[in-house]
Amino acid sequence: MSLFVNIRRELHLIPELGYQEFKTQAYLLKYIQDLSQERLEIKTWKTGIFVKVRGLKPTKMIGYRTDIDGLPILEETGLPFTSTHVNQMHACGHDFHMSIALGVLTYFVQHPINDNLLFIFQPAEEGPGGAEAMLKTDIMKEWKPDMIFALHIAPEYPVGTIAIKEGLLFANTSELYIDLTGLGGHAAYPHLSNDMVVAACALVSQLQSIVARNIDPLDSAVITIGKITGGMVQNTIAERSRLEGTIRTLSVDSMKKVKTRIEALVKGIEIGYQCQAEIDYGCKYHQVFNEKQLTREFMNFLKTQPDIHLHECKEAMTGEDFGYMLAEIPGFMFWLGVDSQYGLHHAKLTPREDAIDMAISTITKYLTYKGND
């Protein structure tokens, strides 16, 4: 077992939610501080970490970002290194992301290149979002990269495959929470109450009309209500109900249009069901848009690597707050094949660990090429 596979397993044991990654940060800092410090500068922000590797003859700064948080999921993999934190799991592969970043960092501590490198260990990608906040820090203003890139594991691709495309890769996303409040009462006297279960059901049906009738068929959008709660017991009229879901669109304009229509439909529910409604869009993520020239250059580099299969993929409706960084800094994100039967955010996600050393090797070769040109 390689060092970085073992690191992945140790990190997999201790997943933590956004801005609560205290053990994770401590683990990362100990590893980084045990490296040669001759060319390193380390700064922390909340539970995140910035690590600058000074180059030999720097003309630019190249950034590499990894996310570090886990998800509120009870792990069901049965692995000997199953999460030790109840109802928390690295079900999105951030343990892979961190171990790969540490592998790349270690290489360049030992084999410096001409240009400066900045490694960003970002908290709270899964929510409430750490990328946008890190961008606004004084540290980032001082060490702002000239370009930046990142990866995300992809269970649907085999190990050895890297999937990427120019332009839009991940969608604009927004959480959606709608609270409805009416008048509760006895199940035998519905005429004396305003039933919020009925109102919620009507609203769910109406929300699905937005994509079908308000979005250009050549564009794409998704509204998903993943959770509904309401009522207290079977023989009462529910006074309150709550809808929780997500919005995903392939354009900023469509996101605005969807939200405008949601607000209009919710006003109609208030009038029709004599209730009060509140909308909260929660965490909102900007689209991941890969800069054309840098992405094409990376793809051309991958074509020279005999052990890599380059796949030009389509855009996906997944969300990633790395999009905020790409909105301000030219760069790209790519999918790393890890060949898991179970997908992202699944309690049985089991990525193949041989993808870790392959990714470290590929990224170090790319940065050596890019950082010495």
**pLDDT tens-digit profile of 314-343?**
999 999 999 999 999 999 999 999 999 999
Please identify which of the residues 67, 95, 132, 353 carries the catalytic annotation: 67
Phi, psi of 220 (to 5 degrees): -140, 140
Q: 316 and 294 in contact (C-beta within 8 Å)?
A: no
Q: Does 179 qualify as catalytic in the annotation?
A: no
pLDDT at 283 over 90: no
- Average pLDDT of the segment spanning 45-68: 98
Instruction: Supply the mean pLDDT for the chain.
Output: 97
Pair type for strands 240-249 and 221-230: antiparallel
Domains and CATH numbers, the chain: 3-170+287-371 (3.40.630.10), 172-284 (3.30.70.360)
Please identify which of the residues 16, 69, 125, 126 carries the catalytic annotation: 126
Q: Does 297 qualify as catalytic in the annotation?
A: no
Residue type, 144: K
Q: List for the chain the helix, strand, coil content (%; round to 5).
A: 35, 25, 40
Q: Across-strand partners of 186?
A: 236
Q: Across-strand partners of 335?
A: 152, 163
Neighbours of 324 (CB within 10 A): 22
Per-residue pLDDT reduced to its tens digit, 181-227: 999 999 999 999 999 999 999 999 999 999 999 999 889 999 999 99
Buried b (16+ CB within 10 A) or exposed e, 23-47: bbbebbeebbeebeeebbeeeebbb
pLDDT at 1 over 80: no
Q: 334 and 165 in contact (C-beta within 8 Å)?
A: no
Q: pTM surpassing 0.85?
A: yes
Give the model's pLDDT for residue 359.
Answer: 98
Pair type for strands 40-45 and 61-67: unpaired
The token duo for 129 is 């979002």
Residue 122: exposed, middle, or buried by beta-carbon count in 10 A (0-12, 13-18, 19+)? buried
Neighbours of 135 (CB within 10 A): 16
Give the model's pLDDT for residue 152.
Answer: 98
Percent of the chain scored above 70 by pLDDT? 100
Give the model's pLDDT for residue 321.
Answer: 94
Peptide bond before residue 112 is cis, with ω within 30 degrees of 0: no
